[in-house]
């Protein structure tokens, strides 16, 4: 049965970050993801999670206000990427995070791809037991970001052929980039190691956009998917008042698994 994680960077923002894991557990989430768990000490996150599984963290992005969005594909920033990856791997190991999203950064062209693939191979060798994931991000909201197309990402993954590096399938970004998220899913589902969902087009509560979430859960269950479905959206109101989608999907998943 699929497991659902709350993205604690975007959900339950009515309370401070370290208070969010408890609310997520009370609301019925099976786990959490935290995009950048670097502003609080790891021991504080350990206490706050209190055993709630952690699905994913991102590598540190650098100076966000100055435009940094990670470094994995940025020529000349190999040292910064490797330092940031080792930091992420340490935090992931201490918190038990299943996946690390490798942030590619702002770059373009063949040299950027060569740097990216070299850095990915290095990272996979440094943390051979750690799942690593790549996420294409839409260019309207992430101008200049190196990974901005699911087909591009699929080709890079196939060229790498590393068992611990997979696709982070964000339903909302798939719709923004390609227009038909179901078609994107059909092309790339075999590469998927982590799933994120949100409503389209507003990135609010999951649902709509021509994508069947119930069917997704059924397919993942039938395939023996052992990863997470993470809710990464902007609640239209207080988070706890917009969770009917979670209750419906979990109820449907229980019926399928019965």
Residues 89-98: tens digit of each pLDDT: 999 999 999 9
In 112-124, which positions are buried (b, 16+ CB within 10 angstroms) versus exposed (e)?
bbebbbebbeebb
Whether the CB-CB separation of 57 and 88 falls below 8 Å is answered with: yes
Whether the CB-CB separation of 199 and 193 falls below 8 Å is answered with: no
Q: What is the dihedral angle through the alpha carbons of 65, 144, 133, 218, rounded to the nearest 10 degrees?
A: 110
Q: Are strands 99-101 and 54-58 parallel, antiparallel or unpaired?
A: parallel
Domain extent, residue 114, equals 3-257
In 164-174, which positions are buried (b, 16+ CB within 10 angstroms) versus exposed (e)?
bbbbbbbbbbb
Check residue 258 and give its pLDDT: 46
Give this prediction's pTM.
0.96
Catalytic residue numbers, as ranges:
135, 232
Tally the domains of the chain.
1
Check residue 226 and give its pLDDT: 92
Check residue 1 and give its pLDDT: 77
CATH code assigned at 52: 3.20.20.150
Check residue 33 and give its pLDDT: 98
pLDDT averaged over consecutive 10-residue blocks of the chain (258 residues)?
94 98 97 97 98 98 95 98 98 98 98 98 98 97 97 97 97 94 95 96 88 90 92 96 94 64
Angle at 87 between CA 151 and CA 112, to 5 degrees: 35
């Amino acid at each position: 049965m699929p497991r659902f994680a709350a993205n604690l960077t975007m959900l339950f923002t009515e309370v401070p970050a370290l208070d969010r894991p408890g609310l997520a557990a009370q609301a019925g989430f099976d786990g959490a993801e935290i995009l950048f768990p670097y502003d609080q000490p790891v021991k504080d996150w350990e206490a706050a999670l209190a055993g709630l599984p952690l699905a994913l963290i991102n590598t540190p992005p650098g100076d966000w206000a100055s435009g940094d969005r990670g470094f994995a594909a940025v020529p000349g920033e190999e040292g910064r990427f490797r330092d940031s990856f080792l930091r992420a791997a340490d935090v992931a190991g201490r918190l038990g995070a299943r996946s690390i999203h490798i942030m590619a950064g702002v770059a373009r062209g063949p040299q950027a791809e060569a740097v990216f693939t070299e850095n990915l191979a290095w990272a996979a060798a440094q943390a051979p037991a750690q799942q690593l994931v790549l996420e294409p991000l839409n260019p309207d909201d992430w101008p200049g970001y190196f990974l901005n197309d699911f087909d591009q990402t699929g080709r890079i993954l196939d060229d790498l052929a590393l068992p611990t590096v997979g696709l982070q399938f964000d339903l909302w970004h798939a719709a923004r980039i390609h227009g038909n998220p179901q078609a994107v899913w059909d092309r790339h589902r075999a590469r998927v190691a982590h799933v994120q969902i949100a409503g389209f087009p507003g990135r609010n509560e999951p649902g709509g956009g021509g994508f069947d979430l119930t069917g997704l859960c059924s397919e993942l269950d039938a395939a023996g998917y052992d990863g997470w479905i993470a809710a990464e959206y902007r609640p239209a109101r207080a988070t706890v008042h917009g969770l009917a989608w979670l209750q419906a999907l979990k109820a449907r998943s229980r019926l399928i698994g019965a």
